[in-house]
Structure 1
């Protein structure tokens, strides 16, 4: 049912003049979905309060609640068409009353990690792009069919929302930056192995895939006490995201996974001066996939000791600085980081090796990121002690990766198994840091164990060679007969 509802909504938005791409579909679906989720959340809280004899005060004023403007019901529990706004009336209400009301929550909220603040921030960043009030009515009616009351419903919804983010990435343009393949994220989380009580951070949160997977990993790691559940909800996951759409999608994604008021801040992480980061600002775990190929202005570069316009290199400096001593990280970066010869890259590799134990490098094949032709590696490191030895694993698959043939967890199973003991294999090897060039700190992933395979010849080549030998034999026989 949920899947068909999403398809129907996309069909409606496709017809609307204000929505022109998959990115618009996700954005506009998200804000309506969020308000329906909020309504169900309030109902659950009211029911829980009633069971304990308490009174629940609704976050949203009665005139702005879902069942007042979006889906007023008649005595039979069906949509009351006499009360439900539509057409220009609906669009005017949403644009000129509802959104301004919701935006005020940001300034009125007590602090940033409350659901009230998130409501205000989301609707400050968003605007209603659906131009037809009749299309908007259809979208609302479809979303009103959805329920977020049970864990199973939220679980199914979170998977469908992830699929929408994935489709947005596949659609091209800049959508791909929001989606990191989930099997890869799960593997990175598994290897880093955060524990309850860790503060986990992604400074390039995007759609919050790392934070969502880390939440699922910890939630399923053991039977949680009420205090541990509270810690996961409020004191574990932290993110920053620069782009408005990604910020909104990240918030919505975490909410659907079960985090009620995600600690994601809408800000440019790289605008923060590294010198200003203090011990209280640091995290136990960093999980991230900073943007590929971005270029930063000179004033942003001034915040970093190693000056470079390369966005990912600035993020890596930020992650090293913001980790606590003993903190762990799993960071995706372009594989050229391992071998670039510019001064900034050399300095950054030296910084990483001297300040952290870069214990593992996972070398990924091309096509891992759909729509992005770049090759990437995952750096796994711990802060505090210099690197003595780096263990490499090169993921060699017997197929090309693409939209219809994407990376899966089975592909990465051998890596996870071997990484536990840093075992040598045909696909893995270790390098002593003292053996690498001490002027360039080149860490190129050159597999010394890979078998050199002799390519098998094609049948037609063999036939051609036999024919050529036959001709050569006939010529030799002719010469022999001539001599006799």
Structure 2
């Protein structure tokens, strides 16, 4: 299919966004309804020649049952169809779990069904279907009111992480908080570009990926996103679990973990008391395989991810600054991580790249190792991609090219042959610097929060960033402060 035809389909799908917003249907709701309808249309196509597949969709609630109706009858039948399909088993039930019709205007519902009906989605390339759906996911993430941004990791960052890890065919990949599936897609694309035989292709499609996502709507979007990108199938087993990954060790051991666990320090459980008020209690996971019992969600994910890895497994994980410097449980976890794994690389990320404000984060790369009396970490290489670097989501978004220097410094082909760009005498502004295990372990609280480049905004008032960048940084800091205050209030009052 030509780029022109592809663009036409993308434009057609997008054309309904604004009219729907005018009647109170946001991007998230549109994306949700589009997911239901696309699934039914593709199931209908696969049930006919040349595919002739028997699929578990009741005839009275299939795609043709929608296209044959109009007006109020269509709206009522669509609502009933969603209710019936939500009670089905397998991927079908996961796609339609808790589904409700959000498009109450029959005329608009019919137009969207007609738009989808005119295309043969089964014959469209996975890249085309994926482009359409990923575009909607990103647009939904931009809608700050919905909070969907916390489930959407910048795709440029994901691709850079995958390029560094270089996942291989016939190996397993997990994400214990997979959101809309961005890490899986990037890993799939990286592996699919290699020359694969039939067995490797089948393994990539059906047996490579394992995820957890506890938010039903996000899990639905993830399943559909993967499905449209040719990962999984109608009859696939439930490889995206709705369970909280932190509750227990499932026994799953994988070759790679690529993840950006949810922002926010505290794990919590919300319940309604006798007065009908919402109460939030801190949730502490008592697991024998954890080094430290903590209510800090991020520290728990670090420990869980280490458990998930095979003895030869590799991980690349996005984590907030507090994991690098927090004392108490944080210090214990950092020490244990350096002892039991080879924590070899840290990428300090700039502000302004995430859809949720107030986030200062890093990527930690570590390789799991078998038990040993000596610490496995020998050197930690840090790339400071934060100091004097500024991005904004709209005017200056993060691109893969922006991370190319880091990828080159990481040296994925042979990370044991690296060269520092930092030099105290000749290049004190070099962003790539090595620290020994002894240097780190002797720091206060074994802090990994390290910077050495001078912040020019503090020293040179004539070269301040643009006003919108400064405003963005102020918002980032205010949001981070508010998040801390919210956690304090929850702890004191036991209420959200």
Give TM-score scaled by structure 1 length.
0.80
- 1:34-433 residue pairs with structure 2 within 5 A? 34-43=39-48, 46-48=49-51, 56-66=53-63, 68-71=64-67, 84-96=68-80, 98-106=81-89, 117-152=90-125, 154-173=126-145, 174-222=147-195, 224-261=196-233, 263-271=239-247, 273-274=248-249, 277-278=250-251, 281-297=252-268, 298-303=282-287, 304-341=290-327, 343-384=328-369, 386-395=376-385, 399-420=390-411, 421-425=417-421, 426-433=430-437
Distance in 2 of aligned mates of 1:448 and 1:371? 26
Does the Cα contact within 8 Å between 1:199 and 1:283 map onto a contact in 2?
A: yes
Measured at CA, do residues 208 and 452 of structure 1 come closer, stay the same or move farther in structure 2, by a change above 3 Å?
closer
State the Cα deviation string for residues 162-221 of structure 1 (Å, max 9, x = none).
Answer: 111111111113111121111110110111111111110001010000011111111112
Measured at CA, do residues 203 and 169 of structure 1 come closer, stay the same or move farther in structure 2, by a change above 3 Å?
same
Structure 2 unaligned residues grouped into runs of 5+: 1-7, 269-281, 371-375, 412-416, 422-429, 464-496
Distance in 2 of aligned mates of 1:151 and 1:91? 28
Secondary structure class of the residue paired with 2:161: helix
Deviation at 1:301, TM superposition (A): 2.5
Secondary structure class of the residue paired with 2:419: coil
After TM superposition, the structure 1 stretch with the greater mean CA deviation from structure 2, 442-451 or 120-129, is 442-451
Does the Cα contact within 8 Å between 2:150 and 2:356 map onto a contact in 1?
A: no
Secondary structure class of the residue paired with 2:435: strand
Match of 2:439 among 435, 453, 467: 435
Deviation at 1:300, TM superposition (A): 4.1
Secondary structure class of the residue paired with 2:101: coil
Distance in 1 of aligned mates of 2:379 and 2:457? 26
The reply on whether 1:33 has 2:38 as its aligned counterpart is yes
Distance in 2 of aligned mates of 1:403 and 1:395? 19
Measured at CA, do residues 447 and 151 of structure 1 come closer, stay the same or move farther in structure 2, by a change above 3 Å?
farther
The runs of at least 4 consecutive aligned structure 1 residues that moved more than 4 Å come to 396-399, 448-458
State the Cα deviation string for residues 417-461 of structure 1 (Å, max 9, x = none).
Answer: 111133201110011111224462111222369999984969xxx
Aligned to 1:473: none
Distance in 2 of aligned mates of 1:125 and 1:218? 34
Deviation at 1:336, TM superposition (A): 2.6
Does the Cα contact within 8 Å between 1:363 and 1:445 map onto a contact in 2?
A: no
Give TM-score scaled by structure 2 length.
0.78
Does the Cα contact within 8 Å between 2:171 and 2:208 map onto a contact in 1?
A: yes
Distance in 1 of aligned mates of 2:164 and 2:455? 24
What root-mean-square deviation, in Å, do the aligned CA atoms of Structure 1 and Structure 2 show?
A: 2.4
Distance in 1 of aligned mates of 2:292 and 2:101? 42
Distance in 1 of aligned mates of 2:83 and 2:229? 28
Deviation at 1:398, TM superposition (A): 5.4
